Chain A
Amino acid sequence: MNPTMTKKLLLTLLAWSIALIVFFPIFWMVLTGFKTEGEAVATPPSLFFEPTLAGYHTVMARADYLKFALNSIVISFGSTLLALIVAIPAAYSMAFLPTKRTQGTLLWMLSTKMLPPVGVLMPVYLLFRDMGLLDSQLGLTIIYMLMNLPIVVWMLYTFFKDIPKDILEAGRMDGAGTLQEVFYLLLPLTLPGIASTGLLSVILSWNEAFWSLNLTTSDAAPLTAFIASFSSPEGLFWAKLSAASTLAIAPILIFGWMTQKQMVRGLTFGAVK
């Protein structure tokens, strides 16, 4: 065997061992979701067993599981949609009608992300209490929209900036108004970018656990809160917990894998490309 081949095989062995170790907790969770409760806590842990969907059936049969899942879907997609609606015009004007102030505005937007949630927990909690937004889908939707707005504006801005101005210019020559320009030229051209921006915002909202644990109790509680309810001592139903967890993370994992490249841009505010 030639030395490059040996090197490649060794690298494969090393990299895959690490990848499997890092992935093991997720793998184990998925596996446990297909066990019976008895097998789930068995020592030694069983790797080979007869898979059962009992855990999934129990979770799905719990009337409230679907409610939590629906809350997660409504809140994360709702907040993303709102953020996109507000951010697209802003990013458009920053990318195509830049002024001296544009850069400052962008940086200021980034700075609002630096406010630690725990620093404003008290006022937000009290405001929500007084406005009747505690434990409501609307309340959490608004918070997540605001939380992700700076990232969404930034990501869209970087995608819009890649579009040559000439294309929009040409459209304008042909008599397109601003709205037509945006809908018929800009949005179709940047659709992949907009989609990955939206997916990142959905992922961040879906996984957010500070506001969801503090501002919701039951009616509007999303999956993060549902899973957290398993942390109590009486919640030692590992197969059910695993089944519920697998359902909760599967869509996000797939979104994340799909958009990882563009996501780096958004998460680092364009500092790493």
Chain B
Amino acid sequence: MRERTSGRTVGGFRNLFLQGPAVTLLLLWMLVPLGMTLWFSFQRYNLINPMISGFAGWDNYTYLLTDPALWTAMGNTLLLVGWVLAISVIGGTLLAVLFQQEFFGRGIARLLVIAPFFVMPTVGALVWKNMLMHPVNGVFAWLSQLLGLPVIDWFSSMPLASIIIIVSWQWMPFALLILLTAIQSLDDDQVEAARMDGAGPLAIFWFITLPHLKRAISVVIMIEMIFLLTIFAEIFVTTSGGPGLASTNLAYFIYIRALLDFDVGGASAGGVIAIILANIVAIFLIRTVAKNLET
């Protein structure tokens, strides 16, 4: 009894010492900027005009929320997240099933198909912009001409769709990588038994594979959502949010407010909105992970 008590205090002290640095750093990293963002969001604060100062109350928020540009940006964010999620999760699931099958050169084919996830976002976006989607010298333009189709000027006629394509190209391999790992733990006997009972491949996919992948799919959706909500580099190097606001998402909108308009108050209010959105998703993700920790 005595031993256990003393063991615990020693352990507690050691834990404090061992975990202390990591916990302190993360605590600072979370609280300081978060507190400052909240504080700024209630201030009149402009970097180029020091005359504007003082407590703003809810002004930054009302100004922001009545700005139609914010709602355009929100709409674009939702479209971007929704489409990329749909494409990457559905595509990733189907590809995971395909790449799980036995075929020649499977190892190498798998490496090729997950590669885009490791490509720097600025590189990926520029390759698509300049070499594939370019209306004059791009591969797509050449293919369209070859087939006698009209050439599409991707970034001016469908800027958001172009970005959705590029981002999906980067994130579908992520979904595939995760789901391929998850699918490998599927019990072969169960599949075999179902086949014996006369289940076709579609039935096996629908009633055995999909339920097995349920949790992995939900994890993929949540992780992707958190990243996709604040996609930035791909927009920065391709359309710069344009033409007009056609491809401006929430992250790019805040960036314009912050570092181009120097409106600290407004940008911070936007930041708070982004944080709230991300946290709605995060709560679900953390719950799923927590469930897994217990088992």
Residues on A lying within 8 angstroms of B by beta carbon are 8-9, 11-12, 14-16, 18-20, 22-23, 25-26, 28-29, 32, 41-45, 86-87, 89-90, 92-94, 97, 99, 103, 105-127, 145-146, 149-150, 153, 178, 203, 206-207, 209-210, 213-214, 223-225, 227-228, 230-231, 236, 238, 241-242, 245, 248-249, 252-253, 255-257, 260-261, 263-264, 267-273
Contacts and interface: CB of A to CB of B under 8 A. Distances in A.
B289 interface: yes
Top 10 nearest A-B pairs (CB, nearest first) are: A123-B36, A209-B233, A114-B282, A256-B118, A120-B33, A93-B18, A90-B22, A231-B237, A119-B271, A119-B275
Q: Select the residue from A116, A146, A223, A227 with max chain B CB neighbours within 10 A.
A: A116
Given A43-B142, A214-B259, A120 B120 contact: no
B203 interface: no
Interface stretch (B49-57, B78-86, B94-102): B94-102
Interface stretch (B61-69, B156-164, B176-184, B192-200): B176-184
Contacts, number: 314
A116 B230 contact: yes
Given A43-B137, A210-B232, A261-B181, 20 more contacts: A8-B102, A15-B98, A25-B169, A26-B119, A93-B15, A93-B18, A114-B282, A115-B278, A116-B226, A123-B40, A125-B259, A209-B120, A213-B236, A224-B120, A231-B122, A241-B130, A245-B126, A256-B115, A264-B178, A271-B289
A118 B271 contact: yes
Q: Chain B binding site: helix, strand, loop or mixed by DSSP?
A: helix
A120 B34 contact: yes
23 contacts: A8-B104, A9-B104, A12-B103, A16-B103, A16-B109, A19-B109, A19-B112, A23-B115, A86-B21, A87-B22, A99-B11, A111-B282, A118-B270, A122-B36, A126-B264, A127-B32, A209-B122, A209-B233, A227-B122, A231-B236, A238-B137, A253-B115, A272-B178
B64 to A, nearest CB: 13
A112 B29 contact: yes
A233 B172 CA distance: 29
Contact of A97 (B14, B223, B272): B14
Contacts of A107: 286, 289-290, 293
Nearest to A94: B19
Contact of B19 (A89, A230, A242): A89
Interface in B225-249: 226, 229-230, 232-233, 236-238
Contacts of A242: 127, 131
Q: Select the residue from B8, B126, B275, B293 with max chain A CB neighbours within 10 A.
A: B126
B182 A272 contact: yes
Interface of B: 8, 11-12, 14-15, 17-19, 21-23, 25-26, 29-30, 32-34, 36-37, 40, 95, 98-99, 101-106, 109-124, 126-132, 136-137, 139, 141-142, 146, 169, 172-174, 177-178, 181-182, 185, 215-216, 219-220, 223, 226, 229-230, 232-233, 236-238, 250-251, 254-255, 258-259, 264, 267-268, 270-272, 274-275, 277-279, 281-282, 285-286, 288-290, 292-294
A247 to B, nearest CB: 10
Given A105-B23, A260-B114, A210 B278 contact: no
Contacts of A214: 255, 259
Contacts of A253: 115, 118-119
A152 to B, nearest CB: 9
B249 to A, nearest CB: 10
Contacts of B19: 89-90, 93-94, 105
Nearest to A230: B126
A122 B267 contact: yes
A231 B238 contact: yes
